[in-house]
Structure 1
Amino acid sequence: MVKKTKVLIVDDHPLFREGIKAIIGRSPEFEVAGEASDAQTGLQRASECRPDIALVDISLPDQSGIDLTRTLKSVLPETHILIVSMHSKMGYIIEAFQAGAIGYLVKESAGDGLLKALGCIVKGEFFLDNSVSRAVVSKILKAADKEVYVADTDYRSLTTREQEILRLLVEGLSTKDVGNRLYISPKTVENHRTNIMHKLQAKSPLDLVRYAARIGLIDIDHWKGEDP
């Protein structure tokens, strides 16, 4: 009997996990070895079942999936990480690969693309969702130039979650919108914003926008042209 590739699912949405398990269950090559709804449990499950592949969502309730990816790669370097996320922006994709992920799949493509992604990853090949635009791929290829600006010491002092929230705030999202996007409460967003402003020594939201423009997170000319 051919040994199946073990897959761990780390996602806080039960229905999504059930859908993923159903898709994997149709394949003779893969099997679900465990599942978790948060990063801490995910790390514990991974240590127990030592999966060949871990499917990790970015927006987890206790920790960013990108931080979890870094931890998993440090303790289980042989485990391949596939990020499965609702986010398709360049920043998330770059961070995921930099953290050690070998694949990135957008959730809306999971139905058709999951087994294809797993097939690539089990062979040690990188996988990038077809739904990611050519423009994003082009920017990823030029990420080395972008990283010069984002390598700012103060920015690196922020946690991955704080960096994630900073990007959304300077794009103009309200704390409520950020909370909805990341599945956290507006109060939690406000607490993160307070910490971010303290670390960056910012006195106002405008200071955050200016800072983000200075390090290249946003295009300040584009931001000026938007409605307040």
Structure 2
Amino acid sequence: MITVLIVDDQPVVRAGLAVVLDAEPDLQVLGQAADGAEAVRLTAQRQPDVVCMDVRMPGMDGITATREITGSGSGAKVLILTTFDIDEDVFAALEAGAAGFLLKGAEESVIADAIRSVAAGAGTLDQRITHKVITEFAHRRGSGHGGAAPELSTLTPRETEVLRLITQGLSNAEIAQSLFVEVTTVKYHVQSILMKTQSRDRLQAAIWGLRQGLTA
């Protein structure tokens, strides 16, 4: 069972999302928070697997709350849910340690799948913004200075190819289809990549790969 904390300053949004998620057999809503400060407190108390975090809220905003949660040593993963499209919030959320970013207009099944993906350590970005966001984020973090990181040389040729496809925003199933291998094989490579690059999740690995020049 994947446990979830919902954070949004609008009661109607929180209630509606709670109904949707509780209807999923493998998801359980542990609580709701109206602002970032309450989100930090409830995360520490209830230890959810995933925190669905709004960005713009009165008091402590979602970016600050995300930074506090990810920096606290909590095992909770933060999935940003926002009505705003591509803007500075996306990059600020990734800098703060968010494991995923999704627009609230996404279908209910997409939100549920995103929570599962984040909980599994895969990370997620809305498919409408995936490659543009991680490419821009990697550029902002800087790349090409001082050559490739030594970790890149530890990747096998197949792992390098998998990482290259991850930077394009492909899912495990899409990577498996592209490389003509089983999904379980891709998952094995992804876990090895995360370990070798010391990445927290798939999204962080994609950003790392882009910084090393792994593009399409």
Alignment counterpart, residue 41 of structure 1, candidates 16, 38, 43: 38
Offset at 1:87? 1.9
Q: Which residue of 1 aligns with 2:28?
A: 31
Q: Is 1:88 the equivalent of 2:85? A: yes
Please, which runs of 5 or more residues in structure 1 have no aligned partner?
147-228
Matched residue SS, 1:23? helix
1:117 matched to 2:114? The reply is yes
* Matching of residues 130-209 of structure 1 within 5 Å: 130-132=127-129, 134-145=131-142
The answer to whether the 8 A contact 1:58-1:65 is kept is yes
Percent identity at matched positions? 25
Match of 2:67 in 1: 70
Give the superposition deviation at 1:6.
1.1
Q: Which runs of 4+ in 1 moved over 4 A?
A: none
The alignment's TM-score, normalised by the length of structure 2, stands at: 0.61
Equivalence for 1:202: none
Alpha-carbon distance in structure 2 between the residues aligned to 1:30 and 1:71: 24
Question: Are the equivalent residues in 1 in contact too, given 2:5–2:31 (CA < 8 A)?
Answer: yes
For residues 103-149 of structure 1, give each alpha carbon's deviation from its aligned partner in whole angstroms, at most 9, with x where no partner exists: 00111115342111011111101100113265444323422249xxx
Q: Secondary structure at the match of 1:34?
A: strand
| TM-score calculated relative to the size of structure 1 | 0.58
Tell me if structure 1 keeps the 8 A contact 2:91–2:133.
no
Q: Which runs of 5+ in 2 are unaligned?
A: 144-216
**Relative to structure 1, is the Cα distance of residues 112 and 60 closer, same or farther in structure 2, using a 3 angstrom cutoff?**
same
Q: CA RMSD in A?
A: 2.1
Q: 1:69·1:81 contact (CA, 8 Å) conserved in 2?
A: yes
CA apart distance, 1:74: 2.1
Deviation, structure 1 residue 45? 1.5
One-letter amino acid of the counterpart of residue 108, structure 1:
G
CA distances 1:164-189 after superposition (whole Å, capped 9, x unpaired): xxxxxxxxxxxxxxxxxxxxxxxxxx
Residues 47-71 of structure 1 deviation map (CA, whole Å, 9 limit, x = unaligned): 2211111111111110121100011
Asked if the contact 2:6/2:52 (under 8 Å) is kept, the reply is yes
